[in-house]
Amino acid sequence: MSNASAPRSPAALAALTLGALGVVYGDIGTSPLYALKEVFHGGHVATTPENILGVLSLIFWTITIIVSLKYVLLILRADNNGEGGLIAMLALATHAVRDKPRLRDALMMVGLFGTAIFYGDGVITPAISVLSAVEGLEVAAPALHHVVIPITLVVLTALFAVQRFGTAGIGKAFGPVTLVWFFVLVALGLPHVLHNPQVLVALNPAYAVGFFAQNPLVAFIGLGAVVLCVTGGEALYADMGHFGRLPIRIAWYGFVMPALVINYFGQGAMLLADPAAIENPFYLMAPEWARLPLVFLATAATVIASQALISAAFSVTKQAVQLGILPRMRILHTSVRDTGQIYVPFVNWGLYVFIVLAVALFRSSSNLASAYGIAVTLDMTITTVMTFFVLRYGWKYPLALCLLATGFFFVIDITFFASNLLKLVAGGWFPLVIGIGMFTLMVTWRSGRRLMAERLKHDAIDLKSFLDAVFISPPARVQGTAVFLSAEPDITPNALLHNLKHNKVFHEHNLFVAVRHHDVPWIGFDKRIEMEPLGHDCWQVILHFGFKNEPDVPEALQLLAGRGVPMDEMDTSYFLSRDIVMPSIGEGMALWREKLFASMHLNAAAAADFLNLPANRIVELGSKVEI
C-alpha cells in the first residue's frame, strides 16, 4: 500500500515530484509573501543594513536547520508503513513504549494535543495566505484598499464551497501552477541579488549570531516572525504517504529551497538599497506592470496552499475517527479511483466559519501573523519529542545519539515557541483556543468510550455461555444469515438479546462481528479476518483495519465465502445496537464532560454508514447505557 520506498521509473518520479510541489510545498512556498515583511513590521527591528543581513541569515539558517535537516533528513525516516504525519508518528511512538503504560499514556496525551493544535494551524494558514496575496492589490492599485477583505472572503468562500466536488480535477493543475510560482519567485529575486550581490554574505551564520549578540531581546522577539518562513514545513512529513520520500526530497533540494532563498535574498537586496520598501517587499520587487498579474498568481498559489491544508484536515479527521479519538463523522468519497480523496462536511464548514472569523477579527496579514506561530512551533516541538521515543525505543539507537539528534532540534523548536508566546495576547490565543477546544473534545470522546465499554462489559453476558443456554431449548430458526455487530468479541450483543426478546427467533446462520482499528496505516486482506466457530452454525468474527483502510464490513465478510460460512448478500441482515448514553453523577468524568460525551455520541454519524453496511438490510435496536 505504501509508496515510500518502492522503485519508480524516471517519468513516474518526475510526476510525483511535480505533484509534491503543489500539495506539499504550497504553504511554505507562499511564505515569502509575508515572512520577511513581518520581522520588521512591528517596529522592534530597525531596517539597518546590519539588521537586514542578520535577519536574512536567520531566515536562511532556520530553513536549513528546521526543514532541510530536521524534516527532510531526519523526520522523513520515521515512516509508519510509508505513512507520515503526527498521527502516524503518535502511533509509532506509543507502539515503541507499549511496555511502559504510564509513558505511553503521557505520549498519547501529548500527541493528541499536537493533533488538536493542527486544527488551529488549519484555520490561520488559509486566512493569512489568501489575505496576504490579495493585499498585493494595495500595492498595484492603492485605491482598492477597501475591497481587500471582501475579495479575500469571496475567494475563501469559493474554495470551501467547491470541496464537495473533490479536488481530482483541479488537483492536476496544482503542480504546474506551483512550479510557475517557484520560477516567478526566482525571477523576482534574482535581478535584485545580481544587482546587489553583497547580500549573499548573509549565508554566513556569523551574521545571524552577530544579530543576536548585538540585540538579544530584539532578535528573540523577531524569531516570532522569522518562524513564518517555515510554516508548512510539517506538511513534508504529513504528505509522505502520498508521494514517498524521494520525490519530496528532490522537490525540496531541486526547486523549493533554492527558489525560497533567492526570493528572500532578493527582498533583502532591495531593502539594502531602499529600506522604505519594507511596506511590502514581495510585491515591490516586481516591476509596476507585473504587480496585478502577480496578485492573481499569488492568489492562485495561496488557494493551492490552503487546499493542501484543508485536504490534510480531512485526512487527519478520518484517521482520528478510525483510531477512536473523534466521533464518527459523515465522510464522502469524491473520487472512484483514489480512496484518499475525501470530503468531511462538518470539518469543511467548521474550518470555514473559524477562517472567516479570523479574517474579520484580524483584518490584515500583519495582524494574523501575531496569531500565527504558536500552533506551528508547538506542533514542531511535539514532533521532535515523539521522534526521540521512536529513535530510542522503536529503533533502539544509543541514548547519547538520540539525545544529540533530537536535543539540538528541541532547543531550536522550544526557542521559537518561547518567542511566539510573546504574541499570545496579540492574537496567539486564537489558534490556541481552537486547539484546546479540539483537545477537550478528543479526550472527552476517548474517556467516554472507555467508560461506556467498561459499563457494557460489566453488564455483559459471556457469548459462549449464552449460546449454550439458548440451545438447550432452541427458539424457532428462520432462513438467512444474521450479522450482529458488537464493540467487543466474546460478549453477547444487546441487539441479539433484544431480537430474541421481541421477535423470539434465531437465524439459520449467525455471525458475531467485532471491528478493530489498529495504529498502523494499512492492514491487508490476508490479515483482515479472524474466525472462530461457536457451534450451532454460529461464528465469532474479528475484522482488522488500519487507520487508512476503508472499514467496509460486507466486503471483508466476503472473505469468509470459501471457509464454510454462507454469505449470500441478499439473504444477510445486519443487527446493530444504538446505545443512548445517560450521564450520571458519581465515578467517571465530570458531569459536564459526561453530558458533552452524550451529545457527541448522539450526534455521531451512524455506525452503519461508517462501516459501509447496505442501508436496506439493517436492523437497529436501541438500549440505554449509564456512565
* Fold observed for domain 17-435: Amino acid/polyamine transporter I (1.20.1740)
| Nearest partner of 256 among 72, 418, 492, judged by Cα | 72
Q: What is the per-residue pLDDT for 402?
A: 93
d(CA 272, CA 277): 9
d(CA 345, CA 331): 7
Q: What is the per-residue pLDDT for 604?
A: 85
Coil/strand/helix, residue 83: strand
pLDDT tens for residues 539-588?
A: 999 999 988 788 889 989 988 877 778 777 788 889 888 778 788 777 77
Residue 254 has pLDDT above 60, yes or no: yes
Q: Kindly report the length of the chain.
A: 627
pLDDT tens for residues 484-495?
A: 988 888 888 888
Residue 307 has pLDDT above 90, yes or no: no
For residue 579, the cross-strand partners are 623
Residue 147 has pLDDT above 60, yes or no: yes
Q: What is the per-residue pLDDT for 4?
A: 45
Q: What is the per-residue pLDDT for 446?
A: 92
- Helix 148-161 with 291-322: angle, nearest 10 deg: 40
Whole-Å CA distances, 339 to 166, 334, 348, 507: 11, 8, 18, 35
> Higher-confidence residue: 351 or 305?
351
Residue 468 has pLDDT above 50, yes or no: yes
pLDDT tens for residues 446-458?
A: 999 888 888 877 7
In terms of DSSP bridges, do strands 476-486 and 572-582 run parallel, antiparallel, or are they unpaired?
Answer: parallel
pLDDT tens for residues 76-123?
A: 888 777 777 888 888 889 989 989 999 999 999 999 999 899 898 889
Residue 286 has pLDDT above 90, yes or no: yes
Q: What is the per-residue pLDDT for 340?
A: 60
Q: What is the per-residue pLDDT for 6?
A: 52
Coil/strand/helix, residue 577: strand
Q: Work out the percent of the chain whose per-residue pLDDT is above 90.
A: 41
Q: What is the per-residue pLDDT for 250?
A: 93
Amino acid at 481: T
- Here the cell at position 499 is 431480537
With cut-offs at 50, 70 and 90, classify the pLDDT of residue 185: very high
Residue 65 has pLDDT above 60, yes or no: yes
Q: What is the per-residue pLDDT for 418?
A: 95
Q: What is the per-residue pLDDT for 2?
A: 41
d(CA 495, CA 501): 10
Q: Which residues contact 363 (CB under 8 A, 6 or more apart)?
A: 149
| Lowest mean per-residue pLDDT among 40-54, 103-117, 334-348, 476-490 | 334-348
d(CA 266, CA 52): 12
CATH 1.20.1740.10, the chain: domain bounds: 17-435
Helix or strand (DSSP H, E) at 538: strand 538-546
Q: What is the per-residue pLDDT for 1?
A: 38
Mean pLDDT over each residue of the chain, to the nearest integer: 87
Average pLDDT over residues 194-220: 93
